[in-house]
Amino acid sequence: MTSPTGAVKRLLTKPENRPIDRSVNKFAKEPVKKPGSNDLTRAELKHFMRRSDRPGLVRLFWWCVLLVVTGSLVHASMGSLWLLVPAMFVHGIIVVHHFAIQHECTHYTAFRSRWICRLLMRLCGFILVIPPLFFRYEHSDHHRYTNLRGQDPEMIELPTSVFGYLLYLSAMPYWYAQVGGLIRRSCGWLTRVEARFVPTRMRRAVVREGRWMIAGYACVLTSMRMLDWVAPLFYWWLPMLLAEPVMRFIRMTEHVGRPTTDDRRENTRTSVVSRPWAWLAWNMNYHAEHHFAVAVPFHALGRLHERLDGHLFVEPRGYVNAHRDIVRRIHA
């Protein structure tokens, strides 16, 4: 039988199956075996990696419906601050989860049609202040050097204190890094770490991307001022600011507190959560499975999770219990 690690590597060497340019996945040295069954075969992996437009388009339709519903709650609550803030928070949870769409489209696995992925990664990136081209290169190195200190550009360090833990969850450091980084790169300044993963030939494109995004935000602000238009404030920016701590809470569960090793079976945490949360995350709660085989689209991750049962690190009690583990490690 062909081991899954070898099969995945061979599949990912084909240009049409590479989820991120320059991305090289490291897999466990030993074949993943399920007790009482054969190895995961090449044919199974090809089946799991099969992309399709339909699942993504169906989810995207209901996603838009949900945005309209939560946006309507914000509109209906405009007369009362006590109702408006909770309504914007609920709406904001949907807004910040656009990251799940951008992430999947960055891997070109959310849809078979690459133009749909490109369109959505740019739209979601603008909404979330996450430059799509820059994120693509940064995320490539995240998969290459997952949870390796000094090498993983997306690594979230285990906080050294409860204060540091709460500060990260507040999202203030996140926004400082995102907005500050966007402005800095638009001025042509890349840090040493950024210069490592952004190819020299693409640095000008990354700088232009930052400038175009800032110009876009300036156009929105100008329109708000000239037309007395407040919709972006109440349906976009304030909800996003209110709910970003929820996304920080979720993102911490992926790798924080896991060993700093290149073994994907250990450095990444899958969290088993309720269906609504998994739906919002586009199944990225199956994060260990995603890192095991990045070319598997979101709609197949649940099945891959079942197939690899017992061979990746899984938190069966969800995000909250993952944070209990993180807090215990802070106190250790």
- The 10s digit of each residue's pLDDT in 12-36 is 444 334 444 333 344 333 444 444 4
Q: Which domain holds residue 183?
A: 4-331
Mean pLDDT, the chain, integer: 91
Alpha-carbon gap, residue 308 to 4, rounded angstroms: 10
Tell me what pLDDT residue 10 has: 44
pTM value?
Answer: 0.89
Q: Can you give the pLDDT at residue 332?
A: 82
Residue 41 pLDDT:
87
Question: What is residue 154's three-state secondary structure?
Answer: coil
Tokens linked to 9: 């590597």
pLDDT for 325: 97
Q: Nearest-CA neighbor of 197 among 251, 133, 260, 254?
A: 133
How many CB atoms lie under 10 A from the CB of residue 320?
12
Contacts 24+ apart (CB under 8 A), 79-83: none
Kindly state the DSSP code that residue 254 receives in the 8-state scheme.
H
Residue 118 has pLDDT above 80, yes or no: yes
Average pLDDT over residues 74-86: 97
Average pLDDT over residues 39-45: 87
Gap between the Cα atoms of 160 and 164, Å rounded: 6
Which pLDDT score, from 0 to 100, does residue 133 have?
98
Whole-angstrom Cα distance, residue 145 to residue 32? 21
pLDDT of res. 22: 38
Question: What pLDDT, on a 0 to 100 scale, did the predictor assign at position 5?
Answer: 47
The dihedral through the CA atoms of 140, 144, 149, 150 has a sign that is negative
Alpha helices by DSSP H, the chain: 4-12, 42-48, 53-76, 81-96, 98-106, 114-128, 132-144, 162-169, 172-186, 192-197, 203-227, 231-232, 238-255, 275-280, 287-292, 301-307, 318-331
What is the rounded radius of gyration, in angstroms, for the C-alpha atoms of the chain?
A: 20
- Tell the residue number behind the tokens 């992309």, with chain if given: 51
pLDDT of residue 149: 96
Q: How many domains does the chain have?
A: 1
Q: 3-state DSSP call for residue 153?
A: coil
31-65 core/surface letters (b: 16 or more CB in 10 A; e: else): bbbeeeeebbebebbeebbebeeebbeebbeebee
Contact 156, 164 (CB under 8 A): no
The confidence score (pLDDT) of residue 86 equals 98
pLDDT tier at 38 (50, 70, 90 boundaries)? Answer: low
Q: pLDDT over 70 for what percent of the chain?
A: 89
Name, in order, each residue with C-beta under 8 angstroms of 303's C-beta and a sequence gap of 6 or more: 48
- pLDDT given at position 42: 86
